[in-house]
Amino acid sequence: MINSSNTNAIGVFDSGMGGLSVLREIHQLLPSENLIYIADSKHAPYGDRSAQHVQHRCQQIANFLLKKKIKTLVVACNTATAEAVDLLRKQLTIPVVGLEPAIKSGVKMSKTGVIGVLATQRTIESKRLTSLVIRHAPHTKVLAQPCPGLMEKVEANHLDCYDTRQLIKQYTVPLLEQHVDTIILGCTHYPFLNNTIQTIVGRDIKLIETGKPVARQLQRILHQWQLLNSSVSLGHIDFYNSSYLPQHKQTMQQLWDKEIEIKPFLI
Ligand code: DGL
């Protein structure tokens, strides 16, 4: 029997537009699902804010999405997952999917036994990352590199500008000097910089993102909870942004690569 809540939307959010890199994989894998995406660009970056601030914003966003009757919540942000996913799981009765730097895949792929993680300061300092490294990388050297300023380049759609390339060089050259052969993109904004990063570090270095595995994990969870939408028509996507700035709207359109209506998220 089809559960009527199966047509309810999946809520997806990020501190900004980085989560669109996860949303595109979800939409590709589960095209009939209805989706609501919230970019909290006005309150970004989360990576430089206190844990309390991040938790408060996550709760505000989750409450808004619950009023829209979402059936599942995807925290499409490594920083928000590190700080708030446990809290959200305690408070919500729907499934909550989080996102973490792909340490396990990085360890599997590395031949030199040295991997790099690019992420926000808050993710790098989080207990979650420490515990991932202890669990999955006991014999691998993990070089964790905070990247202040990099998410802002994506929010500004400066994906291949001189300043962006300089920042990427500053963050990756020390990793290359220590012989990493695999770099984990531990922030959902960075997949939009994939080409620029790859050009700078060279084709031999493997870059790992988490959008696809998260979409597959979401699919498994929807299946387990019997929440998959079995409709054959294409799902609808609602986009929201907490920022009023016209350039943020423009970036969101460009990153999604389609004309979209972006509603204000005023909370
Ligand atoms: N996109 C977010 C992440 O995955 C972080 C950006 C921020 O600092 O707000 O960590």
Ligand 1 atom, smallest distance to 77 CA: 4
Instruction: State pLDDT tens for residues 55-78.
Output: 999 999 999 999 999 999 999 999
21 CB under 6 A from ligand 1?
no
Q: Are 226 and 3 in contact (CB under 8 A)?
A: yes
Q: What is the pLDDT of residue 194?
A: 97
**Intrachain domains 10-99+212-264 and 103-209 with the same fold:** yes
What is the 116 CA–ligand 1 centroid distance (Å)?
Answer: 17
Instruction: State pLDDT tens for residues 190-211.
Output: 999 999 999 999 999 999 999 9
Ligand 1 atom, smallest distance to 122 CA: 8
As a whole number, the mean pLDDT across the chain is 95
What is the 5 CA–ligand 1 centroid distance (Å)?
Answer: 30
Q: What is the pLDDT of residue 113?
A: 96
Bridge partners, 118 (sequence order) = 145, 185
What is the 187 CA–ligand 1 centroid distance (Å)?
Answer: 5
Whether the upstream peptide bond of residue 148 has omega within 30° of 0, thus cis, is no
CA distance 37 to 20: 8
Give me the residue spans of the domains in the chain.
10-99+212-264, 103-209
151 CB under 6 A from ligand 1?
yes
- Taking each helix axis from N to C end, the angle separating 78-91 and 51-67, rounded to the nearest 10 degrees, works out to 60
Sign of CA dihedral 91, 12, 264, 31: negative
Q: What is the pLDDT of residue 70?
A: 97
161 is catalytic: no
| Residue identifier of the C-alpha nearest atom 8 of ligand 1 | 47
CATH code reported for the domain at 10-99+212-264: 3.40.50.1860
Instruction: State pLDDT tens for residues 233-264.
Output: 999 999 999 998 999 999 999 999 988 999 99
Q: What is the pLDDT of residue 4?
A: 53
Instruction: State pLDDT tens for residues 169-191.
Output: 999 999 999 999 999 999 999 99
| CA-to-CA separations, 23 to 50, 205, 211, 218, 256, in angstroms, rounded | 26, 25, 8, 11, 9
Mutating to test ligand 1, I would choose from 46, 49, 97, 153 the residue with most ligand atoms within 8 A of its C-beta, which is 46
For domain 103-209, which CATH number applies: 3.40.640.10, 3.40.50.1860, 3.30.70.260, 3.30.70.940?
Answer: 3.40.50.1860
58 is catalytic: no
Mutating to test ligand 1, I would choose from 17, 21, 23, 77 the residue with most ligand atoms within 8 A of its C-beta, which is 77
101 CB under 6 A from ligand 1?
no
